[in-house]
Chain A
Protein backbone atom coordinates (compact mmCIF):
# COMPACT_ATOMS: atom_id res chain seq x y z
CA UNK A 1 0.00 0.00 0.00
CA UNK A 2 1.43 3.28 -1.07
CA UNK A 3 1.15 6.51 0.85
CA UNK A 4 1.48 8.63 -2.29
CA UNK A 5 -2.28 9.37 -2.64
CA UNK A 6 -2.35 10.62 0.94
CA UNK A 7 0.69 12.78 0.31
CA UNK A 8 -0.89 14.21 -2.84
CA UNK A 9 -4.06 14.92 -0.91
CA UNK A 10 -2.11 16.76 1.77
CA UNK A 11 -0.32 18.80 -0.90
CA UNK A 12 -3.65 19.58 -2.56
CA UNK A 13 -5.03 20.69 0.81
CA UNK A 14 -2.23 23.16 1.40
CA UNK A 15 -2.22 24.48 -2.14
CA UNK A 16 -6.00 24.89 -2.09
CA UNK A 17 -5.76 26.96 1.10
CA UNK A 18 -3.07 29.08 -0.54
CA UNK A 19 -5.09 29.60 -3.71
CA UNK A 20 -8.13 30.49 -1.65
CA UNK A 21 -6.16 33.07 0.30
CA UNK A 22 -4.95 34.64 -2.94
CA UNK A 23 -8.48 34.75 -4.29
CA UNK A 24 -9.73 36.19 -1.00
CA UNK A 25 -7.17 38.95 -1.04
CA UNK A 26 -7.76 39.76 -4.68
CA UNK A 27 -11.56 39.86 -4.29
CA UNK A 28 -11.23 42.10 -1.23
CA UNK A 29 -8.93 44.44 -3.07
CA UNK A 30 -11.10 44.50 -6.17
CA UNK A 31 -14.25 45.32 -4.24
CA UNK A 32 -12.47 48.07 -2.32
CA UNK A 33 -10.91 49.60 -5.39
CA UNK A 34 -12.70 48.62 -8.59
CA UNK A 35 -10.59 50.91 -10.78
CA UNK A 36 -7.47 48.84 -10.01
CA UNK A 37 -9.01 45.54 -11.14
CA UNK A 38 -6.73 45.19 -14.17
CA UNK A 39 -3.51 45.50 -12.24
CA UNK A 40 -4.80 43.27 -9.46
CA UNK A 41 -5.76 40.56 -11.90
CA UNK A 42 -2.28 40.30 -13.38
CA UNK A 43 -0.67 40.20 -9.95
CA UNK A 44 -3.23 37.64 -8.82
CA UNK A 45 -2.55 35.43 -11.83
CA UNK A 46 1.19 35.53 -11.23
CA UNK A 47 0.70 34.54 -7.59
CA UNK A 48 -1.71 31.78 -8.61
CA UNK A 49 0.81 30.42 -11.07
CA UNK A 50 3.55 30.25 -8.46
CA UNK A 51 1.35 28.52 -5.91
CA UNK A 52 0.07 26.09 -8.51
CA UNK A 53 3.61 25.18 -9.47
CA UNK A 54 4.21 23.85 -5.96
CA UNK A 55 1.46 21.29 -6.38
CA UNK A 56 2.68 20.30 -9.83
CA UNK A 57 6.18 19.73 -8.46
CA UNK A 58 4.65 17.60 -5.71
CA UNK A 59 2.83 15.54 -8.31
CA UNK A 60 6.00 14.94 -10.29
CA UNK A 61 7.99 14.00 -7.22
CA UNK A 62 5.18 11.69 -6.11
CA UNK A 63 4.97 10.00 -9.50
CA UNK A 64 8.72 9.54 -9.52
CA UNK A 65 8.45 7.94 -6.08
CA UNK A 66 5.82 5.49 -7.34
CA UNK A 67 7.87 4.26 -10.29
Chain B
Protein backbone atom coordinates (compact mmCIF):
# COMPACT_ATOMS: atom_id res chain seq x y z
CA UNK B 1 0.00 0.00 0.00
CA UNK B 2 2.78 2.43 0.90
CA UNK B 3 4.43 1.69 -2.36
CA UNK B 4 1.37 2.61 -4.36
CA UNK B 5 0.78 5.62 -2.14
CA UNK B 6 4.23 7.04 -2.73
CA UNK B 7 4.13 6.16 -6.39
CA UNK B 8 0.77 7.84 -6.70
CA UNK B 9 1.76 11.06 -5.01
CA UNK B 10 5.41 11.96 -4.78
CA UNK B 11 6.76 10.28 -7.85
CA UNK B 12 3.92 11.41 -10.06
CA UNK B 13 4.65 14.98 -9.08
CA UNK B 14 8.39 14.52 -9.43
CA UNK B 15 8.41 12.93 -12.83
CA UNK B 16 8.59 15.06 -15.94
CA UNK B 17 5.41 16.19 -17.59
CA UNK B 18 4.54 14.94 -21.01
CA UNK B 19 6.47 11.68 -20.81
CA UNK B 20 4.37 8.72 -19.85
CA UNK B 21 2.55 10.76 -17.20
CA UNK B 22 -0.84 10.38 -18.76
CA UNK B 23 -2.25 9.83 -15.30
CA UNK B 24 -1.73 13.10 -13.51
CA UNK B 25 -3.24 13.17 -10.05
CA UNK B 26 -3.08 11.57 -6.65
CA UNK B 27 -4.28 8.13 -7.70
CA UNK B 28 -6.47 5.84 -5.61
CA UNK B 29 -4.48 5.42 -2.43
CA UNK B 30 -3.08 8.92 -2.64
CA UNK B 31 -6.59 10.33 -2.85
CA UNK B 32 -7.69 8.21 0.11
CA UNK B 33 -4.69 9.45 2.06
CA UNK B 34 -5.33 13.09 1.28
CA UNK B 35 -9.08 12.95 1.93
CA UNK B 36 -8.34 11.20 5.23
CA UNK B 37 -5.83 13.91 6.07
CA UNK B 38 -8.37 16.63 5.29
CA UNK B 39 -11.02 14.95 7.43
CA UNK B 40 -8.58 14.41 10.32
CA UNK B 41 -7.55 18.09 10.22
CA UNK B 42 -11.18 19.20 10.13
CA UNK B 43 -12.23 17.02 13.06
CA UNK B 44 -9.16 17.99 15.09
CA UNK B 45 -9.90 21.68 14.53
CA UNK B 46 -13.57 21.26 15.43
CA UNK B 47 -12.94 19.22 18.56
CA UNK B 48 -10.35 21.76 19.66
CA UNK B 49 -12.79 24.59 18.98
CA UNK B 50 -15.41 22.85 21.13
CA UNK B 51 -13.21 23.12 24.21
CA UNK B 52 -13.49 26.89 24.15
CA UNK B 53 -17.28 27.05 24.03
CA UNK B 54 -17.77 27.24 27.81
CA UNK B 55 -15.97 30.48 28.53
CA UNK B 56 -17.95 33.71 28.81
CA UNK B 57 -16.31 35.03 25.70
CA UNK B 58 -14.32 32.96 23.29
CA UNK B 59 -10.72 33.02 24.51
CA UNK B 60 -9.74 30.08 22.33
CA UNK B 61 -8.59 31.59 19.04
CA UNK B 62 -9.79 28.59 17.03
CA UNK B 63 -13.26 28.94 18.53
CA UNK B 64 -13.28 32.65 17.76
CA UNK B 65 -12.31 32.05 14.16
CA UNK B 66 -14.99 29.39 13.80
CA UNK B 67 -17.46 31.98 15.10
CA UNK B 68 -16.32 34.42 12.44
CA UNK B 69 -16.61 31.67 9.84
CA UNK B 70 -20.16 31.00 11.00
CA UNK B 71 -21.10 34.67 10.65
CA UNK B 72 -19.55 34.74 7.19
CA UNK B 73 -21.40 31.65 6.00
CA UNK B 74 -24.64 32.84 7.58
CA UNK B 75 -24.34 36.12 5.72
CA UNK B 76 -23.70 34.20 2.50
CA UNK B 77 -26.62 31.80 2.89
CA UNK B 78 -29.18 34.28 4.18
CA UNK B 79 -28.08 37.01 1.81
CA UNK B 80 -28.26 34.93 -1.35
CA UNK B 81 -30.92 32.28 -0.72
CA UNK B 82 -33.21 34.56 1.28
CA UNK B 83 -34.66 34.39 4.79
CA UNK B 84 -35.29 30.65 4.50
CA UNK B 85 -31.63 30.07 3.65
CA UNK B 86 -30.77 29.58 7.31
CA UNK B 87 -31.33 25.83 7.09
CA UNK B 88 -28.68 25.46 4.37
CA UNK B 89 -25.92 26.85 6.60
CA UNK B 90 -24.58 23.39 7.65
CA UNK B 91 -24.34 22.22 4.05
CA UNK B 92 -22.63 25.40 2.85
CA UNK B 93 -20.29 25.32 5.83
CA UNK B 94 -19.30 21.71 5.13
CA UNK B 95 -18.54 22.56 1.51
CA UNK B 96 -16.52 25.63 2.48
CA UNK B 97 -14.47 23.92 5.16
CA UNK B 98 -13.81 20.74 3.19
CA UNK B 99 -12.73 22.59 0.05
CA UNK B 100 -10.68 25.13 1.96
CA UNK B 101 -8.79 22.50 3.97
CA UNK B 102 -8.26 20.43 0.83
CA UNK B 103 -6.91 23.47 -0.99
CA UNK B 104 -4.55 24.20 1.88
CA UNK B 105 -3.34 20.59 1.73
CA UNK B 106 -2.78 21.06 -1.98
CA UNK B 107 -0.65 24.09 -1.14
CA UNK B 108 1.87 22.15 0.92
CA UNK B 109 1.76 18.66 -0.63
CA UNK B 110 2.49 17.54 -4.18
CA UNK B 111 -1.20 17.04 -4.85
CA UNK B 112 -4.37 17.31 -2.85
CA UNK B 113 -7.95 16.08 -2.81
CA UNK B 114 -9.19 19.02 -4.86
CA UNK B 115 -6.39 18.55 -7.40
CA UNK B 116 -8.17 15.37 -8.49
CA UNK B 117 -11.08 15.65 -10.91
CA UNK B 118 -12.91 12.67 -9.44
CA UNK B 119 -13.14 14.12 -5.96
CA UNK B 120 -14.38 17.45 -7.30
CA UNK B 121 -16.92 15.71 -9.49
CA UNK B 122 -18.20 13.84 -6.44
CA UNK B 123 -18.54 17.11 -4.53
CA UNK B 124 -20.40 18.68 -7.45
CA UNK B 125 -22.71 15.66 -7.73
CA UNK B 126 -23.57 15.98 -4.05
CA UNK B 127 -24.20 19.72 -4.39
CA UNK B 128 -26.36 19.53 -7.53
CA UNK B 129 -28.20 16.44 -6.30
CA UNK B 130 -29.08 18.26 -3.12
CA UNK B 131 -30.25 21.24 -5.16
CA UNK B 132 -32.57 18.95 -7.17
CA UNK B 133 -33.87 17.39 -3.94
CA UNK B 134 -34.59 20.80 -2.44
CA UNK B 135 -36.31 21.92 -5.63
CA UNK B 136 -38.53 18.86 -5.61
CA UNK B 137 -39.34 19.38 -1.95
CA UNK B 138 -40.30 23.02 -2.26
CA UNK B 139 -42.09 22.90 -5.66
CA UNK B 140 -43.31 19.33 -5.72
CA UNK B 141 -41.75 16.67 -7.93
CA UNK B 142 -43.85 17.54 -10.99
CA UNK B 143 -43.54 21.25 -10.34
CA UNK B 144 -39.77 21.02 -10.24
CA UNK B 145 -39.60 19.19 -13.55
CA UNK B 146 -42.21 21.44 -15.14
CA UNK B 147 -40.16 24.42 -14.06
CA UNK B 148 -37.51 23.33 -16.56
CA UNK B 149 -39.96 23.77 -19.43
CA UNK B 150 -40.27 27.51 -18.99
CA UNK B 151 -43.42 29.60 -18.69
CA UNK B 152 -46.83 28.52 -20.01
CA UNK B 153 -47.14 29.99 -23.47
CA UNK B 154 -50.25 28.33 -24.86
CA UNK B 155 -50.94 25.20 -26.83
CA UNK B 156 -49.25 26.28 -30.06
CA UNK B 157 -45.90 26.82 -28.44
CA UNK B 158 -45.56 23.42 -26.79
CA UNK B 159 -42.64 22.45 -29.09
CA UNK B 160 -40.79 25.51 -27.77
CA UNK B 161 -41.44 24.29 -24.24
CA UNK B 162 -40.08 20.88 -25.17
CA UNK B 163 -36.90 22.38 -26.57
CA UNK B 164 -36.53 24.57 -23.49
CA UNK B 165 -36.94 21.49 -21.32
CA UNK B 166 -34.13 19.68 -23.11
CA UNK B 167 -31.83 22.70 -23.00
CA UNK B 168 -32.52 23.25 -19.31
CA UNK B 169 -31.84 19.58 -18.58
CA UNK B 170 -28.50 19.80 -20.35
CA UNK B 171 -27.56 22.98 -18.56
CA UNK B 172 -28.55 21.41 -15.25
CA UNK B 173 -26.29 18.44 -15.95
CA UNK B 174 -23.49 20.75 -17.06
CA UNK B 175 -23.59 22.51 -13.70
CA UNK B 176 -21.87 19.42 -12.29
CA UNK B 177 -19.14 19.72 -14.86
CA UNK B 178 -18.64 23.46 -14.47
CA UNK B 179 -18.43 23.28 -10.66
CA UNK B 180 -15.91 20.44 -10.69
CA UNK B 181 -13.82 21.68 -13.62
CA UNK B 182 -13.49 25.15 -12.12
CA UNK B 183 -12.13 23.83 -8.85
CA UNK B 184 -9.88 21.23 -10.49
CA UNK B 185 -8.54 23.64 -13.08
CA UNK B 186 -7.65 26.27 -10.52
CA UNK B 187 -5.89 23.96 -8.09
CA UNK B 188 -4.18 21.69 -10.61
CA UNK B 189 -3.38 24.66 -12.83
CA UNK B 190 -1.61 26.27 -9.90
CA UNK B 191 0.50 23.12 -9.52
CA UNK B 192 1.36 23.09 -13.20
CA UNK B 193 2.31 26.76 -13.16
CA UNK B 194 4.53 26.19 -10.12
CA UNK B 195 6.15 23.22 -11.90
CA UNK B 196 6.82 25.27 -15.00
CA UNK B 197 8.36 28.10 -12.97
CA UNK B 198 10.48 25.63 -11.01
CA UNK B 199 11.79 24.29 -14.27
CA UNK B 200 12.59 27.86 -15.32
CA UNK B 201 14.86 28.33 -12.33
CA UNK B 202 16.28 24.83 -12.19
CA UNK B 203 19.56 25.90 -13.80
CA UNK B 204 20.38 28.36 -11.04
CA UNK B 205 18.76 26.29 -8.26
CA UNK B 206 16.09 28.82 -7.35
CA UNK B 207 12.53 27.45 -7.00
CA UNK B 208 10.65 30.29 -8.62
CA UNK B 209 7.43 28.37 -8.13
CA UNK B 210 7.56 29.16 -4.42
CA UNK B 211 6.80 32.77 -5.25
CA UNK B 212 3.42 31.59 -6.48
CA UNK B 213 2.42 30.53 -2.95
CA UNK B 214 0.63 33.80 -2.02
CA UNK B 215 -1.40 33.69 -5.23
CA UNK B 216 -2.23 30.04 -4.61
CA UNK B 217 -3.35 30.91 -1.08
CA UNK B 218 -5.68 33.55 -2.53
CA UNK B 219 -6.96 30.96 -5.03
CA UNK B 220 -7.60 28.50 -2.21
CA UNK B 221 -9.83 30.97 -0.36
CA UNK B 222 -11.61 32.27 -3.45
CA UNK B 223 -12.34 28.83 -4.89
CA UNK B 224 -13.83 27.59 -1.62
CA UNK B 225 -15.92 30.75 -1.52
CA UNK B 226 -17.04 30.41 -5.14
CA UNK B 227 -18.11 26.79 -4.75
CA UNK B 228 -20.28 27.59 -1.73
CA UNK B 229 -21.51 30.80 -3.35
CA UNK B 230 -22.64 28.99 -6.49
CA UNK B 231 -24.28 26.30 -4.37
CA UNK B 232 -26.24 29.05 -2.62
CA UNK B 233 -27.17 30.63 -5.94
CA UNK B 234 -28.45 27.32 -7.33
CA UNK B 235 -30.44 26.59 -4.18
CA UNK B 236 -31.86 30.11 -4.29
CA UNK B 237 -32.89 29.64 -7.92
CA UNK B 238 -34.94 26.52 -7.23
CA UNK B 239 -36.47 27.50 -3.90
CA UNK B 240 -37.09 31.21 -3.73
CA UNK B 241 -39.34 32.27 -6.56
CA UNK B 242 -42.73 31.48 -5.03
CA UNK B 243 -43.64 33.29 -1.85
CA UNK B 244 -46.68 31.20 -1.04
CA UNK B 245 -44.32 28.43 -0.12
CA UNK B 246 -42.94 30.30 2.85
CA UNK B 247 -45.75 29.26 5.21
CA UNK B 248 -45.32 25.60 4.40
CA UNK B 249 -41.67 25.80 5.30
CA UNK B 250 -42.45 27.49 8.59
CA UNK B 251 -44.98 24.80 9.40
CA UNK B 252 -42.62 22.01 8.44
CA UNK B 253 -39.86 22.90 10.79
CA UNK B 254 -41.82 24.36 13.65
CA UNK B 255 -40.18 27.76 13.78
CA UNK B 256 -41.08 31.10 12.36
CA UNK B 257 -38.87 32.43 9.59
CA UNK B 258 -36.34 34.83 10.98
CA UNK B 259 -36.03 38.29 9.50
CA UNK B 260 -33.06 38.88 7.26
CA UNK B 261 -30.18 40.53 9.11
CA UNK B 262 -29.35 44.09 8.21
CA UNK B 263 -26.31 44.38 6.02
Residues of A within 8 A of B (CB): 38-39, 42, 45-46, 48-49, 52-53, 56-57, 59-60, 67
Q: Name A's interface SS.
A: helix
9-residue interface stretch from B84-92, B148-156, B181-189: B181-189
Task: Please count the residue pairs between chain A and chain B whose beta carbons lie under 8 angstroms apart in the complex.
Answer: 38
Quick check: B178 and A53 within 8 Å, CB to CB? yes
Q: Can you list 20 pairs linking A and B with CB atoms under 8 Å apart?
A: A38-B75, A39-B79, A42-B79, A42-B229, A46-B229, A48-B226, A49-B226, A49-B229, A49-B230, A52-B186, A53-B178, A53-B181, A56-B182, A56-B189, A57-B181, A59-B185, A59-B189, A60-B181, A60-B185, A67-B22
How many positions in chain B have a CB within 8 Å of any CB in the partner chain? 18
State A42–B230 Cα separation when bound (angstroms).
Answer: 10
**B residues apposed to A, CB below 8 Å:** 22, 75-76, 79-80, 178, 181-182, 185-186, 189, 222, 225-226, 229-230, 233, 263
A45 touches B181 (CB 8 A): no
Interchain CB contact under 8 A, A39 and B181: no
Do A39 and B263 form a contact, CB below 8 Å, given A49-B182, A53-B178?
yes
Q: Which residues does chain B contribute within 8 Å of A57, judged by CB atoms?
A: 181
